Amino acid sequence: MESAFVVAVVVGVSIAIQVLLVGRASQDVPPLVISTALQSSGLVAGLIWVASQRAWSAAIPIVGKWWWLPLGALGWGIVAALGYASARLGASTTLAIVVASQLVTGLVLDLTTDGIEISIRQPLGAGLLVVGALLISVR
Full pLDDT tens readout for the chain, 139 residues: 689 999 999 999 999 999 999 999 999 999 999 999 999 999 999 999 999 999 888 888 888 888 888 998 999 999 999 999 999 999 999 999 999 999 999 898 888 887 778 889 999 999 999 999 999 998 7
Domain locations along the chain: 1-89, 90-139
Report helix, strand or coil for 44: helix
- Look at the pTM and tell me if it is higher than 0.75: yes
CB 99 within 8 A of CB 133: yes
CB 112 within 8 A of CB 104: no
Q: What are phi and psi of 119, to 5 degrees?
A: -100, -175
Q: Which helix (H) or strand (E) holds 138?
A: none
